[in-house]
Chains A and B, each alone.
Chain A
């Protein structure tokens, strides 16, 4: 069975460029989370999607960050005008409804030069 997949696995970009990160959740999972994790640090919550409800964007660090989820499945996290402090591993997780068992993808390692 397919797990959560993310692409690209690695992304190197120049400061000021925009990037898009993709997450394919487990089929049938209605809840989707984006987190980021800096080296040696814990998880930082970014945004949460649940079904057709309005997303919880309370964790987005600035208005340069946005995310959408099309058709209740695939999600894209967009970072505009990237800064060096955006460098981190961006993790996507999905869960079945309100279940607290979250299944994580392998992450996208973003490096902003």
Chain B
């Protein structure tokens, strides 16, 4: 799986959009970009994933650059409950073998009141 680079921490005002960047300059053509988050004392939570088109779901939007070397996770209206460590992962599709997750250090997002 390709390596990713994220800022260690970010702050965001409550109600504002949180934009979390991720660099993955060595991404391969068949690798997807996944985002998970982990709120303190809880298990990791899947957020969204994409290949090359921008994606949106009820939690967030994912913007992937045209060259696919970076992406941005957008939480459109951050709340205090969005305070968590956010992990960007790049992975090729599963071929049936174990697909255990490996998180890097992620970005600690703190939403401020």
Contact = CB atoms under 8 A, between A and B. Distances in A.
Q: Is the interface of B mostly helix, strand, loop or mixed?
A: loop
B100 A99 contact: no
Interface residues of A, number: 25
B43 A45 contact: no
Interface in A74-113: 91, 93, 95, 98-107
Interface residues of B, number: 21
Nearest to A34: B100
Given A91-B43, A100-B32, A101-B49, A56 B98 contact: yes
Given A42-B102, A42-B103, A43-B103, A50 B46 contact: no
Interface in A13-27: none
Contacts, number: 63
B46 A102 contact: yes
Contacts of A95: 99
Interface stretch (B16-24, B64-72, B75-83, B88-96): B88-96
A8 interface: no
A33 interface: yes
Nearest to A55: B98
Given A43-B44, A43-B103, A100-B94, 17 more contacts: A42-B102, A42-B103, A43-B100, A43-B102, A45-B98, A45-B100, A48-B98, A48-B100, A56-B97, A58-B98, A59-B100, A91-B44, A93-B101, A102-B44, A104-B44, A105-B43, A107-B43
